[in-house]
Amino acid sequence: MLIDWFTVGAQVLNFLILVWLMKRFLYKPILHAIDAREKRIASELADADAKRAEAQKDREEFQHKNAEFDRQRAALLNKATDEANAERQRLLDEARLAAETLRAKRQDTLMREYLNLNDEITRRTHEEVFAIARKTLTDLAGASLEESMSEAFTCRLRALSKETKERLANALKTSSEPALVRSAFDLTPDLQAAIQNAINESFSADIDVHFETKSAIIGGIELIANGRKIAWSIEDYLTALQKDVGELLKAPSAPQDPPVSPLNVKAGPRQESGTESATPEEVK
């Protein structure tokens, strides 16, 4: 008999024990190890995926920030460039304005110096002219001239208007001091008597007259009584002429060759003074 039933039973038992042993020592640990490894690999893959996703996110964020930074930098650069251009333009304008102001001031100064020099030359010229005239007339003064002057004085005295005569007469009458007759040279007694007569006739009174010599009167005679004066002298003519010439010089002597500049158009002492002064035609 090939089948031994005790052996069969024993082998069944052995097999069941072997099943248990294999489960205990082989399948469970191996499957556990495989599962653990798979879990670990899965977790590592998930971790790697998460890291990759995070890296991708970081990368996108970085790119976004980079783009934003570039944009801001470009904006700032543009703004800075614009500001620099504006500042440069402003500085250039300021510098131009300053240069133009300086040039205008210099132009003005030059114009003033030119005018001052011109005025000085004119003043010196007419002073010299009058000095020469005075000198000439002084040199020419003499007896015959004194007579002529006395005659001219008496003629003028007589030719006074009635009102003027009355005012002078009152002045002579009310004056406590004698009337004063000044002349550049000593008058001869004849000439003094002639003048005395002329005064007496003119004012119809016996006027006490005191004669005085004053060299400052270039050529002429003057009567002073109680603050009033009647005179005829070359000095008067010259003074009047000098006054006229002075007024003429004060007038805005338009520069014969004024330097033309834009600033002169804006403002200038020349124009300002010109508005205050009269033209030579007005003086005439």
Residue type, 114: Y
For the CB of residue 42, give the shortest distance to another protein in the complex, in Å: 13
Q: CB of residue 38 vs another protein: minimum separation in angstroms?
A: 10
Closest distance between another protein and the C-beta of residue 46, in Å?
16
Q: How far is the CB of 5 from another protein (least distance, A)?
A: 8
Tokens of 200: 């007496």
Nearer to another protein, 19 or 97 (CB): 19
70: left (phi over 0), alpha (psi -120 to 50) or beta: alpha
Dihedral Cα 36, 37, 40, 42, nearest 10 deg: -110
Nearer to another protein, 33 or 55 (CB): 33
Least distance between another protein and beta carbon 51 (Å): 18
Nearer to another protein by Cβ, of 41 and 102: the residue is 41
Closer residue to another protein, CB minimum distance, 46 or 102: 46
Complex with another protein: residue 45 or 143, whichever CB lies closer:
45
The distance of closest approach from Cβ of residue 49 to another protein in the complex, given in angstroms and rounded to an integer, is 18
Nearer residue to another protein within complex by CB, 10 or 95: 10
* Closer of 18 and 193 to another protein (Cβ): 18
What is the contact surface with another protein in residues (CB under 8 A)?
A: 2-12, 14-19, 21-23, 25-27, 29-34, 36-37, 40-41
The CB-of-11 to another protein minimum distance in angstroms stands at 4
CB of 8 to another protein, least distance (A): 5
**Cα 251 to the center of its chain, rounded Å:** 25
**Can you spell out the DSSP letters for the chain?**
----HHHHHHHHHHHHHHHHHHIIIIIHHHHHHHHHHHHHHHHHHHHHHHHHHHHHHHHHHHHHHHHHHHHHHHHHHHHHHHHHHHHHHHHHHHHHHHHHHHHHHHHHHHHHHHHHHHHHHHHHHHHHHHHHHHHHHHHH--HHHHHHHHHHHHHHHHTS-HHHHHHHHHHHHH-SSPEEEEESSPPPHHHHHHHHHHHHHHHTS---EEEEE-TTS-SEEEEEETTEEEEEEHHHHHHHHHHHHHHHHHS----SSPPP-HHHHH--HHHHHHHHSPPHHHH-
Q: Which is nearer to another protein, 1 or 159 (CB)?
A: 1
- Helices 143-158 and 189-203: crossing angle in degrees, nearest 10, is 10
